Amino acid sequence: MQKLGDFKLPHFFNYPPYFTLQPVRETREKQIQLWKELILDYCRTQKIFIVRLEEEFPLFSNSVIERTLSHEAREAFLSALVAEGRAEWLDKGRRNCLILWHRIQEWADIIVNFVKDNGFEDSVMTVEEIRSGIESRGTELHGIDRTILMRALKLLEQKGKLAIFKGTSTDDEGVKFSV
Amino acid sequence: MSNFFSKAEVTSSGRPVLLHNEVECHLLSAVDLEPEDHRHFSLLKSGLLILTTHRLIWLPSSSASTPTSASAIPLAAISHIFSSKKSLKSVFHSPRIRFQVLVSSDGRVFDPSSGSGSSSGSGSRSVVVTAVIRGKGDCDGFLVKFWDSWRARAWETTKISSSGSGSASGSGAATGIGGGLYSSDGSVRMVGVAGILRKEQEMWESTDKSLQDAFQDLNALMSKAKEMVMLAEKMRQKLLSGTSSQTSGTNDEDMGSKEEMQDWLLSVGIISPVTKESAGALYHQQLSRQLADFVRIPLERAGGMINLIDAYCLFNRARGTELISPDDMLQACSLWEKFDVPVMLRKFDSGVMVIQNKSHSDEEVFARIKSLVTKPEALRTGISPTDAAMTLGIAPAMAKEHLLTAESKGLLCRDISPDGFRFYINLFPEIDPCNMYFVKDYGICSTWIKAVSTTGIGERSSTFR
């Protein structure tokens, strides 16, 4: 089976029609489904949070069969993810897409578990520490996209699980848990 | 009873011997000549009346029981021609032409060419002669020409010239009534250079005359043309208004006469304005059937399906003249649904229109495409319209339509790349998004993988850069 780095690719990745946006509705729907799953899988395993359409994205090209997804196709597949709530456009021009291979709610749950696992129920941490601190190593939180993290934290703040406060410098935000 | 009229010379085949410069102008068949005073003179019954520039010649019909000899009335002897009176009586009678002739002292028609009747005796008495036209000829036309010839007085100029030539050529020239170039058997005697010149002159004169006639007709036609156009317009309007005011229950008779009008308009080159609503003018129906017959052979050669444009070109080429317009072609094809013909017009989603056999089966074509596209080579590289064309035995454009149709049915998938437009067997239905890596045994995916892996495509790994 073919690999992209250490990512195992499915057999149909070498099927040329997979890289041409299909016009027939039923066929296209299936194609979109397969691409959605593949994108999410890939991003999850590679910890990719943002896909930029105008840049090279390894998944969108297959040098073996010499095919590349057209811009139209890329937009179509990502829009399908957005519609499902698994992604968000970061700009109006639809050039940058935030991939939510975990939904925000899922991230929020992960944070709560993280807090519980490490006994941070009443602690204070900086946002940066959550992202890249020693404790987060080995967890999914490590290296999480800052935008996503903030959204998850805000969601938890709304639920009263924590409070966000500004630190001494502008990007030194902190969180007080009350999980 | 002696003949009222002068004797006219005829040839052995019954043709009149014409005088010098005499030209025939008109003729009527089944004519009786009745002198007013026919108690003393015999009637001439049911003969051929020939008007010439010089005379009125009456020839007996060959079916006449009593052989009456041909007679003639010199136009010079005619003193008056009566205009035709249209009365109630004349509706029931055969048409009549009446004229007045001068009668010489012996009671017969004055014959100015012969010696009989001295100048003093001429003009003393006149007798009315009636020509009863029992045949179907054009009497009014004859009468007009009669007037023209009589007024033209061609015999007067002839007399001058013939008397001149007669004295010059002496004995050799004139023989009897048929002086000049005409011999007794009616054939023209061409004497030397004079003959040739004479012949040339005659040709010029007759050409000139016919040209004049033609232009007369043309002038008449031109003046009529405007009326014709107006008439055609009126009819067209009538047709248009007729259909727009149609009620739900159309009268069959109305439709019939409307179709007739349409046909007439079409035959004079005017497009019928009601093409869509009508059941189809007769012209289109005939064309439709003709086209169905014609298209059979090209269809066979093309493998059962032919592009409409190609069929149009072939058909027109075969017709040679009377080419049909694209609209006619479309009309003719559309009418096929109403008839029981073995062909049909089909429009693909892409807009391409084809003629195909009714017996044509899409399923059969798809079966053939499927078998083509599951061959190992095709699994690896797909098929192009050209490949399909060769296998199916049809034109590439037609093959592409079939491939597109197969695609729309979910049989194939397209692959667009710099290499071109190709089609592969559709693998997607077999793949489960929730279990993407699973490949069913003996399914199409596994067949595909096997075919592809022989070239090593599936086995190579690419490393992330």
Full set of structural domains in chain B with CATH: 6-112+124-154 (2.30.29.30), 278-357 (1.10.10.10), 372-454 (1.10.10.10)
B408 by Cβ neighbours in 10 Å (0-12 / 13-18 / 19+) ranks as middle
For B91-123, b/e burial (b = at least 16 CB within 10 A) is eeeebbbbbbbbbbeeebbbbbbeebbeeeebe
Residues in chain B closer than 8 A to A26 (CB atoms): 410
Q: Which domain holds residue A65?
A: 3-99
By the CB < 8 Å criterion, does B452 face chain A?
A: yes
What's the confidence (pLDDT) of residue B281?
60
Secondary structure (H, E, C), chain B = CCCCCEECCECCCCCECCCCCCCEEEEEEEEEEEECCCCCCCCEEEEEEEEECCEEEEEECCCCCCCCCCEEEEHHHEEEECCCCCCHHHHHCCCEEEEEEEECCCCCECCCCCCCCCCCCCCCEEEEEEEEECCCCCHHHHHHHHHHHHHHCHHHHHHHHHHHHHHHHHHHCCCCCCCCCECCCCCECCCHHHHHHHHHHHHHHHHHHHHHHHHHHHHHHHHHHHHHHHHHHHHHHHHHHHHHCCCCCCCHHHHHHHHHHHHHHHHCCCCCCCCCCCCCCHHHHHHHHHHHHHHHHHHHHCCCEEEHHHHHHHHHHHHCCCCCCHHHHHHHHHHHHHCCCCEEEEECCCCCEEEEECCCCHHHHHHHHHHHHCCHHHHHHCECHHHHHHHHCCCHHHHHHHHHHHHHCCCEEEEEECCEEEEEECCHHHCCHHHCCCCCCCCHHHHHHHHHHCCCCCCCCECCC
- Per-residue CA distances from B361 to A65, A87, B294, B370, B371 (Å): 35, 46, 21, 14, 16
By the CB < 8 Å criterion, does B74 face chain A?
A: no
- The partner residue sitting opposite B428, judged by closest CB among A1, A20, A27, is A27
- The answer on A94 and A127 residing in a single domain is no
pLDDT-derived band at A177 (thresholds 50, 70, 90) equals confident
- Per-residue CA distances from B196 to A106, B181, B182, B202, B431 (Å): 121, 11, 14, 10, 102
- Per-residue CA distances from B48 to A69, A154, B72, B134, B406 (Å): 96, 122, 11, 11, 80
Residues 6+ away with beta carbon under 8 Å from A21: A28, A31, A70, A72, A73, A76
Q: How many CB atoms lie within 10 A of CB A69?
A: 21
Which of A72, A99, A126 is the endpoint of a domain? A99
pLDDT-derived band at A67 (thresholds 50, 70, 90) equals very high
By the CB < 8 Å criterion, does B429 face chain A?
A: yes
Predicted confidence (pLDDT) per residue in A23-66, tens digit: 999 999 999 999 999 999 999 999 999 999 988 899 999 988 99
In chain A, % of residues over pLDDT 70: 98
What's the confidence (pLDDT) of residue A108?
92
Residues in chain A closer than 8 A to B435 (CB atoms): none
Q: Chain A residue closest to B460 (CA)?
A: A2
Q: Decide: B335 and B344 in contact? Cβ < 8 Å.
A: no
B436/A34 CB distance under 8 A: yes
What's the confidence (pLDDT) of residue B49?
87
- The answer on A117 and A75 residing in a single domain is no
**Chain B residues 215-254 with CB within 8 Å of chain A:** none
Per-residue pLDDT of chain B (465 residues; tens, 9 = 90+): 456 778 888 776 677 788 877 888 888 888 888 887 766 666 788 888 888 888 888 888 765 545 567 888 888 888 888 887 767 776 777 888 888 888 877 767 776 655 444 444 444 678 888 888 888 778 888 888 888 888 888 888 655 444 444 333 333 333 334 344 555 555 566 567 888 888 888 888 887 887 777 777 777 777 677 677 777 777 777 777 765 554 444 455 555 666 676 666 655 554 444 333 343 466 777 788 888 888 888 888 888 889 999 999 998 888 776 788 898 899 889 888 887 888 999 998 888 999 998 888 788 888 999 999 999 999 999 999 998 999 888 888 888 989 999 999 999 999 998 888 999 999 999 998 888 888 888 888 989 988 888 765 544 443 333
Q: Among candidates B106, B105, B84, which has minimal Cα distance to B95?
A: B84
Q: Among candidates B50, B49, B44, B63, which has minimal Cα distance to B24?
A: B50
What's the confidence (pLDDT) of residue A97?
93
Q: Decide: A175 and A163 in contact? Cβ < 8 Å.
A: yes
A31/B428 CB distance under 8 A: yes
Question: What is the number of structural domains in chain A?
Answer: 2
Residues in chain B closer than 8 A to A58 (CB atoms): 464-465
By the CB < 8 Å criterion, does B416 face chain A?
A: yes
- The answer on A108 and A80 residing in a single domain is no
Which of A32, A64, A99 is the endpoint of a domain? A99
Q: How far apart are CA B22 and CA B175, in angstroms?
A: 16
A53: closest CA of chain B, how far (Å):
18
Residues in chain B closer than 8 A to A33 (CB atoms): 433
φ/ψ (deg, to 5) at A67: -130, 145
- The partner residue sitting opposite B433, judged by closest CB among A14, A22, A34, is A34
B422/A37 CB distance under 8 A: no
* Residue ranges in A47-166 assigned as alpha helix (H): 71-83, 104-118, 127-132, 146-158
- The answer on A51 and A24 residing in a single domain is yes
- The answer on A116 and A29 residing in a single domain is no
What residues are paired with B73 via a beta bridge? Answer: B56
| A–B interface: beta-carbon pairs under 8 A | 91
Task: Look up the CATH number of the domain holding residue A79.
Answer: 1.10.10.570
By the CB < 8 Å criterion, does B433 face chain A?
A: yes
Of the residues A9, A30, A59, A61, the best mutation for testing chain B's interface (the one with the most B CB atoms within 10 Å of its CB) is: A30
- The answer on A113 and A93 residing in a single domain is no
- Per-residue CA distances from B396 to B348, B383, B412 (Å): 15, 12, 17
- The answer on A123 and A95 residing in a single domain is no
Residues 6+ away with beta carbon under 8 Å from B356: B299, B304, B305, B306, B343, B344, B346
Question: Is the whole model's pTM more than 0.80, yes or no?
Answer: no
A8/B462 CB distance under 8 A: no
A103: closest CA of chain B, how far (Å):
18
Q: Chain A residue closest to B409 (CA)?
A: A24
- The answer on A8 and A95 residing in a single domain is yes
Q: Among candidates A19, A48, A24, which has minimal Cα distance to A35?
A: A19
By the CB < 8 Å criterion, does A17 face chain B?
A: yes
A73: closest CA of chain B, how far (Å):
12
By the CB < 8 Å criterion, does A72 face chain B?
A: no
State chain A's mean pLDDT as an integer. Answer: 89
A148: closest CA of chain B, how far (Å):
26
Report CA dihedral (A7, A8, A12, A13) to the nearest 10 degrees. Answer: 30
B242: closest CA of chain A, how far (Å):
47
Which of A99, A114, A135 is the endpoint of a domain? A99
3-state SS class at A78: helix
3-state SS class at A96: strand
Mean pLDDT computed over A90-118: 91
Task: Look up the CATH number of the domain holding residue A112.
Answer: 1.10.10.10
- The answer on A117 and A73 residing in a single domain is no
Q: Chain A residue closest to B408 (CA)?
A: A24
By the CB < 8 Å criterion, does A31 face chain B?
A: yes
B458/A14 CB distance under 8 A: yes
**Chain B residues 364-383 with CB within 8 Å of chain A:** 382
By the CB < 8 Å criterion, does A25 face chain B?
A: no
- The answer on A147 and A130 residing in a single domain is yes
3-state SS class at A128: helix
- The answer on A7 and A22 residing in a single domain is yes
- The answer on A125 and A77 residing in a single domain is no
A66/B407 CB distance under 8 A: no
Long-range contacts formed by B254-261: CB under 8 A, 24+ apart: B255/B279, B261/B235
pLDDT-derived band at A69 (thresholds 50, 70, 90) equals very high
